[in-house]
Structure 1
């Protein structure tokens, strides 16, 4: 479980997060939504340890991430898997080498153990046929699946996905959403997804948090979001739906 309490962050005097709190539970696909500049990515970076908040706590199963020593933070980081926007693959490494990278950096596994684990993860995302391909030789959707395989190769307790559908066509986006949801359920992972894709919200949003100008204005799920009585949320949701219906 991830708990964050009163997370605040400013840059050069400009407030980006004004005190955001929430809880994400194992087995849930939790989505953070909002327009550009609302603080989504900054909150994610505070959660995964890339940016230190000015105030507040981030707790991983009651371990206070920012107020613990470095050994505790290292242990928590080993329990995280991150799917970065765009995939963030190494162009000079094969698909298998990209997935294997965390194992090389963070474990003492034998060569055969690493290779076996890589194949398990690539098979799980449907890419066992692409182990020797280079990133330049695969599609955008396949790159996202490689990124997911790499994110789960360490058997994480926590999975973070930053705009997993960015740059993908609608059909591929649906497949990526389904894969994230399946993996969350299968391994009982605490999954957090940053997105502005309303298709994702309505399909896999078991918990949805809406940020607006650095504050949490609404929290619920995909069954209640369309009936929410929050003006800013409704503008975001129905603007997204209109754009989708127009084919943009």
Structure 2
């Protein structure tokens, strides 16, 4: 479980986040949604300790992450898997080498152990037999799958996905959503997805946090989000014509 408490952040005197609280539960797919510029990615960076909030705390299963010494933070970071926006693969490394990278950096596994783990993760995301390919030789959807394989190779307790569907066609995006949901349940991870894709919200949103102008305006699940009648949330949700028809 991940808890965020009173997270506030500003840049150059401009307030980006205003006292954000939330609980992301184990084994559930939690989504942070909102329009561009609402603070979603800044919140993720605070949770990962990539930027320092002026106020607030992030707890990983009760561990006060932001207050820990750097050496202690490494233990938490080993439990994290991150799918960065765009995949963020190393262009000069093969698919296999990209997935293997965390194991080389953070473990003392033997070569045979690493090989078994990498091949297992590639198989899990449907990419068996692709290890020798370069990132330039695979599609956008496959790059996201490689990124997911790399994110889960350390068997993480916490999985973060930043805009996993950006740049993908609708059918591929649905497959990526399904894969994230399946992995969350299979590995019993605490999964946090940053997105503005309403298809993702309705299909895999066990818990949803809606940010607007740096404030949390609503939280709930995919069943209740269509019935809130909060103006800002309605404008975000029903900007899609098909969803307006669904609302009736």
Q: Same fold (TM over 0.5)?
A: yes
Runs of 4+ in 1 over 3 A off after TM superposition: 240-245
Do 2:80 and 2:158's aligned partners in 1 also have CA atoms closer than 8 Å?
Answer: yes
CA gap 1:240/1:54 in 2 versus in 1, 3 angstroms: farther
Q: Kindly state the Cα deviation for residue 242 of structure 1 after the two structures are TM-superposed.
A: 5.4
TM-score, structure 2 length as denominator?
A: 0.97
CA distance in 2, matches of 1:48, 1:26: 17
Deviations 1:111-166 (A, max 9, x none): 00001000000000000121100000000000000000000000000000000000
Q: Does 1:185 align with 2:189?
A: no
Q: Partner of 2:233 in structure 1? A: 233
Q: Partner of 1:152 in structure 2? A: 152
Do 1:198 and 1:241's aligned partners in 2 also have CA atoms closer than 8 Å?
Answer: no
Q: Partner of 1:203 in structure 2? A: 203
Q: Partner of 1:105 in structure 2? A: 105
Q: Partner of 1:56 in structure 2? A: 56
Runs of at least 5 residues in structure 2 that lack an aligned partner in the other structure: none
CA distance in 2, matches of 1:180, 1:244: 27
Q: Partner of 1:216 in structure 2? A: 216
CA distance in 2, matches of 1:29, 1:97: 28
Q: Equivalent residue of 2:31, what SS?
A: strand
Deviations 1:11-60 (A, max 9, x none): 00000001100000100000000001100000000001111111100000
CA distance in 2, matches of 1:158, 1:72: 16
Do 2:29 and 2:207's aligned partners in 1 also have CA atoms closer than 8 Å?
Answer: yes
Do 2:238 and 2:244's aligned partners in 1 also have CA atoms closer than 8 Å?
Answer: no
Q: Equivalent residue of 2:66, what SS?
A: coil
Matches within 5 A, 1:32-111: 32-111=32-111
CA distance in 2, matches of 1:243, 1:130: 38
Counting matched residue pairs gives: 245
Q: Equivalent residue of 2:210, what SS?
A: strand
Q: Partner of 1:133 in structure 2? A: 133
CA distance in 2, matches of 1:24, 1:243: 26
Q: Partner of 2:3 in structure 1? A: 3
Q: Partner of 1:116 in structure 2? A: 116
Do 2:33 and 2:209's aligned partners in 1 also have CA atoms closer than 8 Å?
Answer: yes
Q: Partner of 2:172 in structure 1? A: 172
Q: Kindly state the Cα deviation for residue 68 of structure 1 after the two structures are TM-superposed.
A: 1.3
CA gap 1:85/1:19 in 2 versus in 1, 3 angstroms: same
Q: Kindly state the Cα deviation for residue 241 of structure 1 after the two structures are TM-superposed.
A: 4.4
CA distance in 1, matches of 2:136, 2:77: 29
Runs of at least 5 residues in structure 1 that lack an aligned partner in the other structure: none
Q: Partner of 1:31 in structure 2? A: 31
Q: Equivalent residue of 2:150, what SS?
A: helix
| Superposed CA RMSD | 1.2
Do 2:237 and 2:243's aligned partners in 1 also have CA atoms closer than 8 Å?
Answer: no
